[in-house]
Amino acid sequence: MRLILNAILVLAVLFASYVEYVYFFAVPPKLGEVVPFSVRSQGFFTFDQDKALRDRRDIALFRYVPLYTYLPAIAEKVKTRMDDLIKEVSFLQKQKLPMGQKLIAYVHKDFGLEISLDEADKLLGYRNLTSLLNGILAFEETILQNIIVEDPEPYHVKNIIEVLYSEPKGIVAHPAEEVITLEQARFMLQDKVSQLFWQIHEEVLDPVIKISLSTLLPNLKYDKKENDRRIQEIVRRYPSKVIHYKPGDVLVPFRKVLSEEDLLLVVSHCEFAKKNLYGNTPWILIVILLIVVFHDRFFLKIIDTERQKTLPYRPLLFLLIISIFLFKFCLLFTPFPLYFVPFALLPLLVVLLNYGRIAATWSTVIGAILLTLFSARTFEIFLFFTLGGLTAVLLGSKIQKRIHILLPSLIVGIINVGVLFAYSTKWENIAPLMGSWHEIWTFFQAMVLDKRLSDFLGWAFMGGVLAGPMALLLLPILEMSWRAASNFKLTKYSDLQHPLLKDLFSKIPATYQHSMTMAFLAQAVGEAVGVNTLLLRIGAYYHDIGKMADPLFFSENQSSGENPHDNLDPQESAQIIINHVKCGEQIARKMGLPELIVDFIRQHHGTLFVEYFYNKAVESNPESKPRKEDFRYSGPKPQSLEAAILMIVDAVEATFRSMETPTRERVEKMILLNIVKRIADGQFDECNLTTRNIAKIVKTLSDSLMATFHSRVTYPWQEKNKR
């Protein structure tokens, strides 16, 4: 099973490292499609927008359709000017005095043209001048039915233009060949006038044509503001910058519709990743394998020889695998920066499930390495997650109530912000400012006000804060799956009104009292040694519930003085004593007690030898020596320091009750003797009970026993009874 879990862990990290690229290789991205996950850069990636988008930008600009506004008032304006000219000419012709100078002044003022006095006189001398001008006006009105522009440059090499008419017509597209320039319109007017009025003398016709041409105006206006906006939109759609992406940066966020730029960015990044695929994948696989193997050896060899408890290796592996999928889910299906990943969730779960700070610390380091491998692959990211995770380990052990998880979550968020801010600061720019605190303060203010950095800092803080609530959501599921128990769940079993404890109190009050005394002593020892005191106290409450099956066969419950063992074979008596562990385990499992408590029931006697009944069996039948194996508890031996403490306290409490006139020296000797006896029997071989622990246990138990069972003052009536 261990090998299978390790293989799953390797495959999970590989999956997390390459799932995006495998998807895009299998299903190439297309323009207008919704990207199914956030695409992130896993390394330093440079996207040259100009190189990638230049051709598309040129094509878009070539295909761009210019917009003109139609000016309906132009035709009326041309007619008005020509009518005014006709009226003025008609008026001047009716005057008896020479009016050439008047006509010259009028033409200069209203048309901006210069004509000679000779031309003016000849014009006024032409009898049919008004008819000629009316004919030219009719030509102009016909020409103005076309769409006329002044400058041909905007629609040069275009096939279509758009013309904005007044409502309800709106924007209408016209083929470019329908458009004529003002120069072409004037040429058309000149040509038609010259052809129709060829019989008129040039000295009259030429000035008239010259004046008439000046009245002709374009009826389309190039909308510079709107066209500039459209061109800028194209340039914005196809920018020409060189963008440098850092590891972990979001290239295209989750559920975004792929634009042309996004599509080219994704394709470019996939090509970049493909170039490095064959070079990077082997060493990444080797690193993953080495980490998993080292993780396996660390738990089974290093911690196995130097442990305080046998660590639940499978649940810890499961936690790593679950965490990898959760973290990858955050990276794939959120558009937020990498710093948002609630990595502290992993160490918090390890601590809350009572797997210990050693396991939590090691899981933090391994988890940070694996997360870095499939997210950013930089030392800064590894440091960011590791420091936040270790903060959770340090503060997580103080959590007793669910509300307490808010404090470590907030502090992890603050640490995340501090670490991110520290390695985002360009310290080389601060060195020259040393001594000028105002400039340094201004520098840091500018950093904080930088929107990109402030967003990153905010998401880093949120990633730390969310780790706690997410751990609380997952905790009940993990507890049910593995029959594990957090401190929150253990608190439920510390209630003395629990049905099992009420049964214990009502059926065998002496054993109940023994368990309560043990809980007091175990908690005192636990506080001195530095282990989980809540777990110890609850273990003491339930360790002897198996005695409810045959209560009278245990000495503390034989208040009548009769001992049923006197009528039994010693081996049968030994089996009844030994079976209270098995009965306790059965009762605990039936009542759904967590595995941690069941372990205390199974391990509090380890594989101890029931010496009293063995010796009795030998005395009763010296010729046929019984097997020692038949007089040993089935175990297992204590697997944790807590179980070892419970074994010691159980023996010491029972032995102390049988002592007459206990002195401190005798009590310490008794405690040490019980411990040494169990060490010699190999009971503590599978847990790390150090000499330092033993010294603290002896001192704490001596202090507690002497304080609890101290002697009292003898009252006068007691003295009389003694006489």
* Residue 197 sits in the same domain as residue 140: yes
**Would you state the pLDDT for residue 282?**
83
Q: Do the domain assignments include residue 8?
A: no
pLDDT in tens, 497-508: 999 999 999 999
What residues form DSSP beta bridges with 323?
A: none
* Residue 195 sits in the same domain as residue 136: yes
* Residue 111 sits in the same domain as residue 184: yes
Q: Which of 66-75, 268-277, 607-616, 712-721 is least confident?
A: 712-721
**Would you state the pLDDT for residue 22?**
87
Quote the distance between the C-alpha of residue 580 and its chain's center.
50
* Residue 436 sits in the same domain as residue 498: no
Domain count, the chain: 3
SS3 581: helix
Radius of gyration from C-alpha coordinates of the chain: 48
Backbone angles phi, psi at 519, to 5 degrees: -60, -40
* Residue 410 sits in the same domain as residue 357: yes
pLDDT in tens, 637-694: 998 889 999 999 999 998 888 887 788 899 999 999 999 999 999 999 888 788 899 9
* Residue 713 sits in the same domain as residue 663: yes
Mean pLDDT on 170-182: 89
Q: Do the domain assignments include residue 498?
A: yes
* Residue 312 sits in the same domain as residue 345: yes
Neighbouring C-beta atoms of residue 363, cutoff 10 Å: 26
pLDDT at 6 over 90: no
**Would you state the pLDDT for residue 308?**
44
**Would you state the pLDDT for residue 307?**
46
* Residue 322 sits in the same domain as residue 469: yes
Backbone angles phi, psi at 175, to 5 degrees: -60, 145
* Residue 99 sits in the same domain as residue 160: yes
pLDDT at 230 over 50: yes
Distance CA(346)–CA(368), nearest Å, equals 10
3-class SS shares of the chain: helix, strand, coil, % to 5:
70, 5, 25
Distance CA(684)–CA(675), nearest Å, equals 9
The answer to whether the beta carbons of residues 573 and 550 sit under 8 Å apart is: no
**Would you state the pLDDT for residue 44?**
83
Under the banding of pLDDT at 50, 70 and 90, the label for residue 439 is low
The answer to whether the beta carbons of residues 486 and 354 sit under 8 Å apart is: yes
Most confident of 154-158, 373-377, 514-518: 514-518
The answer to whether the beta carbons of residues 70 and 164 sit under 8 Å apart is: yes
pLDDT at 447 over 60: no
Q: Do the domain assignments include residue 697?
A: yes
Mean pLDDT on 16-33: 88
Q: Of 439, 455, 482, which residue sits at a domain end? A: 482
The answer to whether the beta carbons of residues 16 and 330 sit under 8 Å apart is: no
Q: Which of 151-165, 177-191, 274-288, 422-436 is least confident?
A: 422-436
Q: Do the domain assignments include residue 22?
A: no
Q: Which of 257-271, 339-353, 359-373 is least confident?
A: 257-271
* Residue 182 sits in the same domain as residue 99: yes
Q: Do the domain assignments include residue 271?
A: no
pLDDT in tens, 300-318: 665 554 444 456 778 888 9
pLDDT at 50 over 80: no
Q: Do the domain assignments include residue 509?
A: yes
SS3 245: strand
pLDDT at 609 over 70: yes
Which distant-in-sequence residues (6+ apart) come within 8 Å of 509 by Cβ?
A: none
pTM of the model: 0.69
Distance CA(659)–CA(266), nearest Å, equals 81
pLDDT in tens, 519-544: 999 999 999 998 888 889 999 999 99
Peptide bond into 207 cis (omega under 30): no
> Whose structure tokens read 């083929």?
175
**Would you state the pLDDT for residue 306?**
45
pLDDT at 585 over 50: yes
**Would you state the pLDDT for residue 471?**
93
pLDDT at 723 over 60: no
What residues form DSSP beta bridges with 220?
A: 70
SS3 40: strand
Residue 461 sits in which domain range?
290-482
Backbone angles phi, psi at 146, to 5 degrees: -80, 170
pLDDT in tens, 613-634: 888 888 887 777 788 888 899 9
Q: Of 447, 482, 517, which residue sits at a domain end? A: 482
Question: Nearest to residue 317, comparing CAs of 12, 640, 642, 600?
Answer: 12
Residues of the chain with pLDDT > 90: what percent?
31
Q: Do the domain assignments include residue 62?
A: no
Neighbouring C-beta atoms of residue 643, cutoff 10 Å: 30
What residues form DSSP beta bridges with 173?
A: 162
Q: Do the domain assignments include residue 173?
A: yes
- The CATH number assigned to the domain holding 512 equals 1.10.3210
Residues of the chain with pLDDT > 70: what percent?
92
* Residue 502 sits in the same domain as residue 459: no
* Residue 443 sits in the same domain as residue 559: no
Q: In terms of DSSP bridges, do strands 179-181 and 45-48 run parallel, antiparallel, or are they unpaired?
A: unpaired
What residues form DSSP beta bridges with 46?
A: 244
Question: Nearest to residue 639, comparing CAs of 606, 674, 610, 593?
Answer: 606
Which distant-in-sequence residues (6+ apart) come within 8 Å of 291 by Cβ?
A: 366, 369, 370
> Whose structure tokens read 């029972």?
654
pLDDT in tens, 177-223: 889 998 999 899 889 988 888 888 888 888 888 888 888 899 999 88
Question: Nearest to residue 646, comparing CAs of 490, 516, 522?
Answer: 522
